[in-house]
A and B are shown apart, each in its own frame.
Chain A
């Protein structure tokens, strides 16, 4: 009987643990929102965060998008050939990149690059008592560390997604016109004509949500890290896992909201 019940107990405990963690993250998120509207505003820290989250992520985002767009064009061409639909490459690359792959891949790359770096930095600050030092210097860690990073995620990641969408489409264009024999101007016309404003808006909105998730997870796990090097490592790992899962879950929900018939 206990053998039968044990897995249920484990599942129950895991579910409760996950819900409790979600609750704590939600409270942290609301606290961050509240502190966004409180003085003082740390403009210099926001500027540094914009550089870190946005500008310095451009190479990774660009390379991810261009290879994904190129591979997508090859896949659609090969798959479409099975039912004589090779001509839909521009439309499917555009819709695939803008609606789905652009925001999700950029979100995941930001989780890998930015979330981990924020979590490791803040966790190290916590372990070395720098967070306590901030408090004793009358500086609220939420306002000084979390708010600038989350704002940077909210501002930069939609822009990165937009850039990623364009570069991904260019990757598909390069492969299609370079190796698959598509006419360059027809490819562009088909892409532009097929995309709707709603597609672009959903892409950027997903970017904003993913940006907030990625930066918030980095800050949350960093602030709640355990002691020593092991604590920093666990916080970094936990932040990337949580950010990636929440980004994929949010993507599912947002896709349902934007495109459910």
Chain B
């Protein structure tokens, strides 16, 4: 279980997180929604330790994230970045097998390559992509490679940062289905941040809406449409009028 308790983070005068409280049960898929600039990515990066919260506590399976041994803690996570964040200088298979080629999870090179190709197949890419450089791939293919990298070491927890941003609707659907399949198949705990409502409906077990630095609403995805929360209602229907200012 991942628990965020009263997590606050400011950048100068910009108070991004004003006290986030959130629980993600083990083996479930939580999707955090919210407008651009509401701190969704910051919340996710706080869990991983990429951003240090000003105050509050983040616990992962009863372990304080701030006090955990970094390598062992991070070895439990996989992460798909918004832009893929693939290493330009490495061929695709080495990107996917990055974690398997160094550190505690190091395997022989041939075995790492084999696992990378198998993970590429799992995300719908052929083996001939393995030796290409990331720059030679389309946006959708890069997202799939990023997804393959995120699952390569079979993590217990997977984070997805805007998984469908910049993709056409068909490719978005493919990525959403893949994420759902993989999360269910691996039994992993997933945390996704997005403002794409088709992703929410395809990926989520539970939904949390972040607005004005706090969790405005949280509940099962099935309750989302009839929640009666004016903020959530405005967001999921994409209305310009409502309690959320359209010009922020």
Contact = CB atoms under 8 A, between A and B. Distances in A.
Interface of A: 40, 42, 124-125, 128-130, 132-133, 135-139
Contact of B85 (A42, A130, A138): A130
A135 B87 CA distance: 13
A129 B82 CA distance: 9
A138 B83 contact: no
Contacts of B83: 128-129
A167 B220 CA distance: 73
B87 A133 contact: yes
A132 B74 contact: no
Interface of B: 45, 48-50, 70-71, 74-75, 77-79, 81-83, 85-88, 98-99, 102-104, 149
Nearest to A39: B103
B103 A130 contact: no
Contact of B103 (A124, A135, A136, A139): A139
B85 A129 contact: yes
A40 B103 CA distance: 7
B85 A133 contact: yes
Contact of B74 (A124, A130, A136): A136
A124 B135 CA distance: 14
A138 B87 contact: no
Contacts of A136: 48, 50, 74, 77-79
Nearest to B161: A129
B103 A138 contact: yes
Nearest to B82: A129
B90 to A, nearest CB: 10
**What is the predominant secondary structure among interface residues of chain B facing chain A?**
mixed
Given A132-B50, A137-B149, 7 more contacts: A40-B103, A125-B87, A130-B85, A130-B88, A138-B75, A138-B99, A139-B102
B171 to A, nearest CB: 20
A40 B45 contact: no
B103 A132 contact: no
Contact of B102 (A40, A128, A129): A40
Q: Most B CB atoms within 10 A — which of A124, A133, A139?
A: A133
A133 B74 contact: no
Contacts of B87: 125, 130, 133
A195 B130 CA distance: 56
A135 B99 CA distance: 11
B85 A135 contact: no
Contact of B99 (A125, A132, A137): A137
A138 B68 CA distance: 13
A133 B71 contact: no
A139 B74 CA distance: 10
B74 A138 contact: yes
A124 to B, nearest CB: 8
Contacts of B50: 132, 135-136
B76 to A, nearest CB: 10
B97 to A, nearest CB: 10
